[in-house]
Every structure is written in C-alpha cells, then in structure tokens.
Chain A
Amino acid sequence: MKILEPIRHARSLLLFAACATACTADTSAPLVATDLVVTQALPGVMMSAGYVTLTNNSAEIISLTSVSSPQFASVEIHETIIANDIARMRPVEKLVIAPGQTVKLEPGAKHLMLMQAQESTDKKAVDLITLNFYADNLLVLSVSTTLGS
C-alpha cells in the first residue's frame, strides 16, 4: 500500500465527486462525499460545523491535509475528544483514508470547523456552501451543499 503521490495521481483524483442538496455523487470517483451537512451558524456565532462521509474508492491511501471554502475565511478539520468528561477540540493535521475505507466526520467526533463566513453579494448564492478538499496542494474533491441542509 502506497501513500498517494499527488502529482502522479492528479488525473484520476481530479474526477470530482460532487454532492449537492439532491446528492448525485459519482460513486465511481476516487473519493466520494455523501451526507454533507453544514450547520447554519446561530446568530452572533462566528463558527459553523460541517459533517460529511468520505469514501476512498481508489487503490491508494488518500491523505487530506487541508479544506477550503469560498464562503468562509478558514476551514479546518477538527476533532472533539471527550476524556474523563472533559471536552477538547483539536485540529486534525492529516485525515488519512485507506483504500476502501469510509471515514465519517460527525457530531461529537471529527468534524469540519468553518470560521468567519464571508459576505456574499450574490443573494442567490448566499446559502450555497462549497468545500474543497486537498491532499497537500492538490484538489482532490469539491462538494457543495446548501447551508443548514
């Protein structure tokens, strides 16, 4: 089993798996996202949470190192760790998904933290959230959903 080499596998991985509200994910893509939810930040709150299920359909390990969104200044993969009744939230530097593995980003566990929502001039696009997942600097997955769905 090899660690994904972004340049060599760029072509196959750039087959995006897009999953909007009416999810039409290409289940044959190397990395597939399903059940994507971005919570609507409560009034006065600067942060939203994102949850998604990621499946690696490729024969290589996929290591996600960063996430971005045009609608937020910053997106990070975080993990809520509860030990001895103490809740700690820590950044996840690398999300490793083995071939054939499904990883869930879900409430109370690993999740996306979306910070500082950007002002949009496009009223129609204001609730559409796009998330771009990167392995090093290579875009491997781009998914969209509506806010709060």
Chain B
Amino acid sequence: MNPKNLVIGIVLGIALTAGILVAMKTINVAPTEPGTATILPLKTAVPAFSAFDQNGDAINQEIFKGQWDLVFFGFTNCPDICPLTLQVLSAARTQLRESGHTPLPRIVLVSVDPERDTPAKISTYIDNFGDENLGITGDLEEIKSLASGLFIFFEKQAGDGDYYAVDHAANVLVIDPDGRLHAIFSTPHKIENFVNDLPLVTRS
C-alpha cells in the first residue's frame, strides 16, 4: 500500500472512532446491560412450598407467577438492614412508577422468623413500604424449603427469650412472571441500582 494512503487511512479511522465516541456521549446512549444486577443464565423455578400471605390465606409457588417480583428474605424485628432494604425497594418502585415504567415489580418479604412473624404482623409491617406488597410467613420448615430452593441462607441466633437475631442473606431476588429466579441484586442496595437496572432486567 502506498504510504500516503496508509496515513490517510489511519487518520480517517481515528477521526471516525472519535466521531462515534463523541456522538455516543452527546446522545447519552442508554446502557444495554445491568450495572449491578446479575441476570442468571439458567432460570430456576421457585420450589414447591406451602405458606401463608399477610392476610392468612394459604399460598404456594403459584403466587410467584404472573408478575415480576422483588423478593427479600428478612424479619420484622430486624431493626436495621431489613427496613433499610425495604425502604430502598419502596423508593425505587415509586420512582419507576413515576417514570412510567412497566411492568412494575411487586415487593415481597419472606419472613426468616416465622415463629414471631404472624400474618397479621407481616401485614402491618409491609404496609409501611407501599401498596400491593406481598408478605409470606408460615411453617419454619416450609420457609426453609423455599429459601434453600432459591439459594437463600438464614439461621436463627441464640438470644434471650423473644429477643434474638436471625442471620440471613441480604440480596434481593428478581422472580420473573413464569415464577423463575431470573436475576439477583447483591448488596449494598441503592435506589438507583434498581431504578437503572430493573427496566433492563425485565426485558432480558
């Protein structure tokens, strides 16, 4: 190749690349991949379980079908990380609603302390974090079965009578409308993580 043409080619290539980069920055190209959520390549179905919702009605794995769910395993007597996480989810859901995003995910709290968390207590608790939330509690072994099927760890700690803590997974699971574990948000949880990533997750 003529050296002169080679130089011209290189200059044109650099100019084209720079132009593309400037154009992408100018028009603020939206990301196509989630920044913090992990979309799972293999979708695992929610395992069979039997429990109660916040109204005391019997539910099973079918409750997770038909909508997108953000699922957090926690407990009402958790004074710090649980309300913090649910506040983040609630605020993110509000922002998504205000921006017109659909489908709007449901917030689900599964109690890792079903001994203390009655349906009535769960009902009162989740009402603090918005409308249309789902609370799940029930027999401890059933909750353990649900948790382990979704790769969630929890373990009651020693305490004094009714005063004890429960160690538990702090990530937020995304369940798709087919009732399958679709994606995971790891800690730390921030409102913008959910607002930015959920539109990408729900169309992936």
**Contact check: which of B81, B120, B121, B163 meets A108 at CB < 8 Å?**
B81
Could you tell me the distance in whole angstroms from the C-beta of B163 to the nearest C-beta in chain A? 6
* Contact indicator B165/A89 (Cβ below 8 Å): yes
* Contact indicator A82/B170 (Cβ below 8 Å): yes
* Count class of interface residues, chain A: 20 to 34
Given contacts A86-B170, A87-B170, contact A108 B80 (CB under 8 A): yes
* Contact indicator B167/A88 (Cβ below 8 Å): yes
Q: How many A-B residue pairs have CB under 8 A?
A: 72
* Contact indicator A85/B169 (Cβ below 8 Å): yes
Task: Judge if B94 is at the interface, Cβ distance under 8 Å.
Answer: no
Cβ contacts A75-112/B at 8 Å (1 or 0 each):
00010101001111100000000000000000110010
* Contact indicator B76/A85 (Cβ below 8 Å): no
- CB-CB under 8 A from A113, the residues of chain B are 79-80
- CB-CB under 8 A from B77, the residues of chain A are 45-47
| The stretch of A36-44, A55-63, A121-129, A134-142 that contacts the partner chain | A36-44
Cβ contacts B86-124/A at 8 Å (1 or 0 each):
000000000000000000000000000000000011001
Task: Judge if A15 is at the interface, Cβ distance under 8 Å.
Answer: no
Task: Judge if B67 is at the interface, Cβ distance under 8 Å.
Answer: no
Task: Judge if A146 is at the interface, Cβ distance under 8 Å.
Answer: no
Given contacts A82-B187, A87-B168, A87-B169, contact A107 B125 (CB under 8 A): no
Q: For the complex, what is the distance from the CA of A80 to the CA of B78, rounded to whole Å?
A: 10
Could you tell me the distance in whole angstroms from the C-beta of A72 to the nearest C-beta in chain B? 11
Task: Judge if A147 is at the interface, Cβ distance under 8 Å.
Answer: no
Cβ contacts A16-53/B at 8 Å (1 or 0 each):
00000000000000000000000100111111110000
Q: For the complex, what is the distance from the CA of A42 to the CA of B186, rounded to whole Å?
A: 26
Task: Judge if B188 is at the interface, Cβ distance under 8 Å.
Answer: yes
- CB-CB under 8 A from B128, the residues of chain A are 42
* Contact indicator A86/B81 (Cβ below 8 Å): no
Given contacts A46-B163, A74-B163, contact A85 B80 (CB under 8 A): no
Looking across the interface, which residue of chain B has its beta carbon closest to that of A111? B80
Looking across the interface, which residue of chain B has its beta carbon closest to that of A48? B79
* Contact indicator B163/A86 (Cβ below 8 Å): no
For chain B residues 43-81, which have a beta carbon within 8 Å of chain A?
76-81
Task: Judge if B130 is at the interface, Cβ distance under 8 Å.
Answer: no
Closest 10 CB pairs of A and B: A49-B79, A87-B170, A47-B79, A44-B121, A85-B171, A89-B165, A88-B167, A43-B124, A87-B81, A80-B80
- B interface list, Cβ under 8 A from A: 76-81, 83-84, 120-121, 124-125, 128, 153, 162-163, 165, 167-171, 186-188
Q: List 11 A-B contacts (CB under 8 A).
A: A39-B79, A43-B124, A44-B124, A74-B163, A78-B80, A82-B81, A85-B169, A85-B171, A86-B167, A87-B170, A89-B78
Q: A46-B163, A80-B81, A87-B81 are in contact. List 16 more A-B contacts (CB 8 A).
A: A42-B76, A44-B120, A47-B77, A47-B163, A74-B163, A82-B188, A85-B169, A86-B153, A87-B169, A89-B78, A89-B80, A107-B80, A108-B84, A111-B79, A114-B79, A115-B163
